[in-house]
Each structure stands twice: as structure tokens, then as C-alpha cells.
Chains A and B, each alone.
Chain A
Amino acid sequence: MIRPLAGSFATVIPAISQWQIGPVHVPVHGLFVGLGVLAAVLVFVHEARRRGAVNEQSLVAVTGALVGGAIGMRLSGLTRHLDFSANPTVSQAWEYGSKSILGGLFGAYVGVLIAKRLGGYRGKTGDLFAPAVALGMAIGRIGCLLTEAPGRPTTLPWGIHAPASTPECPGCVAGLAMHPSFLYEIGFQLAAFAVLMWLRPRITHPGELFVIYVAAYAVFRFFVEFVRANETVWLDLTRPQWVLLPSLALLGFRVWRGYCRGYYRISSADREGDHVPAAR
């Protein structure tokens, strides 16, 4: 899949949009997104069973997350430009949505809130989602690594090359080595998954695992955007970074408030035992 480039330490990632398995053409990006969703569902179900939360509320939350995520990733193009007149209409964004991860996450969050409101539920379900989303995104990003522009040019020894046919990739056309930004993100998501699994018996305040994960991802995503191949729009920052700036302020306030209230205090009993906090 990833082969060394002759005469250098850099590696080449073949940007293949489809794999042919017999007579069937399988879209690579869609395949890994599907595998990521499948992994996330399995982790969610396992976590729900562990916490004794296999119930209608969890199902309603999953439904809201999937539907909201599917819609959110398409409608994220609505906020493409600061000049609102330059943005697409709702119908244009719907038809030509950018399939943004940030849009999908935001849509999923809103979808869960709406679904729980419709069902009359008030319990927290975010802790069930946190490790599931981390693992699902780690797998889904493999599809991005194999099909999209890997990152900005670099002279670091682990820079990678991609074919000139890779869409929206000037560095690929110039034959430059680039940051493997999706590998950075896969590493982050796997580390986040491991940390969340370690934290789940220790941080027992409902919903805080999800807050920690989202805050950590927002910080990571803001910094990894400096090596992503996304277009900069103002002050050398990309669109996701401009979206993340106010989000980081809100999340920072939320984490600080949780810290002050002792939500992240790990008690000795929680350290020693395999305490299973119940999802509310």
C-alpha cells in the first residue's frame, strides 16, 4: 500500500479512489468511513452494555447522532465564507456538501440533542460516544490518507509523496514531500481511545469523558491544521481553524468550570477498583 520512494526515505501513498474487487468497484474513502462507523457502533454497544445502558434513550441518541452527522457533514458548506453572500444556499450546500468531519461532529451533537428532546430524555449519553467516535475516526481517516492531499510540503524525514493526480494537491504536482497529516490524526485518535478507556472508570461525572475528548480533539485539530493541505483564508489560518477558535474558547471555559467543580478529581477508590459508572 505505502511503498518507499527510490533514492529517498520518503514514501509514496497511491491516491486510489476505488479498489476493484472482482467485478465490484469499491470506493476507498467510503469503505473506510463505513468500517469506522461499524467500529464506532460496536464500541458504543459494548460500552452501553458495560454501563447497563442498553435502552431506548441510547438508541434514540445513536439515531440522532447518525442522522445529524449525515446531514451536518453536507450542510457544513453553509459557513464556507465570512462574507455570507458568497456562501451557497441551503439547497446548494445540501447537493454539494463538503463532507466535513467537523460538520459531521457538530451535526451529530445537535442531532442527539434534538432526538433526546423529541423522546423526552434528559440523561447524559456523551460518555458512551467518546471512545466510539475516537476509534471510528481513526479508521475513517485511513480513507482520507489513501485518497486526499496528505499535507503541506516538508523537509522532515517522514514526509510522504502522493501522485500528481491527487485532487487539490499542489505539492503532489510539484513532487514535494508532504506532512502525513492524516497519520498524525490517526495516531491522535488511537491515543485518545486508549486514554478514554483508561479514564472511563476514573472520571465518573456523567458526560465529562465526552467533554474531555471533544476539547482535546479541538486543540489537536487546530494545531494539525498548520500542516494540513487546506486552503488558508485569512491571517494564514484555514477555515476549520476559524471555526475552531470560538469553539476552543467555549470548550476551555467548560473544562475550567468542570475542573473547578471537581469533575476530574480521581478518587483513590476509583484508581484501585474497576468501578463501572452507570450512564444516566
Chain B
Amino acid sequence: MSQQPGEPPEDQPAHGVPPGQYPQYPQYPQYPQHPQYAQYGYPPPNPKAISGGGVVCGVILFPVLNVGVGFLTVMLADQQKVLLAFGAALLALLAFGGGYALWKTGNPGSKGLGLGLMIGWALTSILTVGYCTGLNPAMYT
């Protein structure tokens, strides 16, 4: 019963030898076939996937849109305050209307961009105390 150093015990299989007495690992269950991709045998696309890069792009894109719309409305508005309110409504529509539509497309990049636009509106509103998104009453006075 002598055992050389480095060798496995007698009741254990040596390295590289498959343990025959162990039960076989169960086979992976078949993925349910997606009707659109059934002929390829691929798993269905993950409907919950979202692009983090898209979110960042949306957060950056909104302030850019905000600057454009803001300057345009201020230049056109002059003394007509109703145009400033229109600009604020347009920005909200871009963020929430456009953002929601993109979010519901199902494409990971578009979904991220849509959520990013909404986050951009909220951050811009909070950080500029509502000046840039037209929420601040000073815009109307």
C-alpha cells in the first residue's frame, strides 16, 4: 500500500482519466426556436438587451439638441414669450416622445438612445435649475 509522492490516492482516478463511475453531465436543453431565425438554429435574440453606449450617446445628444432649440427659440421669440413655451414643449417632446419611440423599437442601440434622451432631459432640468429646458419661470418674465 505504498504511495509515491505526487500520485493520487488509490480510491481516486489519476489526472486525465475520466471518472467512469460519475454520472454523465446532462445535455443542454434545446433552445426554443425563434420563428424568425428558426432555419438557422440560433437562440432567440435577447429582448432585454440594451446598449450602454446608446444611453451615453442619448445623455450627450440631448444637451446638444437643447442648445440648438434654445438658441433658435430665443432668437425667434424676441418679445413673444409663447414661443419660449413652445420651445420648452418641443424639447420635452423630443426627449419623451422621441425617447419613448426609440425605447420601444427593440434594437439595443435605439433603446439605449431613447432612455438616454430622457435621462438627458432630466439631468439638464435639474442641473440648470430648469433654465435650459424652459421650466424656470425666469424664462417667461
**Which residues 93-148 of A have a CB within 8 angstroms of B?**
94-97, 99, 118-119
**Which residues 89-139 of B have a CB within 8 angstroms of A?**
96, 100, 103, 111-112, 115, 118-119, 121-123, 125-130, 135, 137
Determine if B48 and A33 form an interchain contact, defined as CB atoms under 8 angstroms apart.
no
Q: Which 7 A-B pairs have the closest CB atoms?
A: A66-B122, A56-B50, A70-B125, A34-B127, A67-B122, A95-B137, A70-B122
A37 within 8 A of B: yes
Determine if A69 and B126 form an interchain contact, defined as CB atoms under 8 angstroms apart.
yes
B71 within 8 A of A: no
Given known A-B contacts A55-B50, A60-B115, A62-B119, A94 and B129 have beta carbons under 8 A apart = no
Given known A-B contacts A59-B55, A74-B135, A96-B137, A37 and B119 have beta carbons under 8 A apart = no
B140 within 8 A of A: yes
Q: Which of B50, B55, B96, B126 is within 8 Å of A33, CB to CB?
A: B126
Residue of B nearest to A58 (CB): B50
Determine if B126 and A34 form an interchain contact, defined as CB atoms under 8 angstroms apart.
yes
The SS class assigned to the A binding surface is helix
**B interface footprint on A27-40 (CB within 8 Å = 1, 0 otherwise):** 10110011001000
Of B112, B126, B130, most A-chain CB atoms within 10 Å: B126
**B interface footprint on A59-77 (CB within 8 Å = 1, 0 otherwise):** 1101100110110001000
Return 14 A-B CB contacts under 8 Å, by A number.
Answer: A33-B126, A55-B48, A56-B48, A59-B55, A63-B118, A63-B119, A66-B123, A67-B96, A70-B122, A94-B135, A95-B140, A97-B130, A97-B135, A99-B129
Q: Which of A30, A59, A60, A96 is within 8 Å of B129, CB to CB?
A: A30
**Which residues 26-78 of B have a CB within 8 angstroms of A?**
48-50, 52, 55
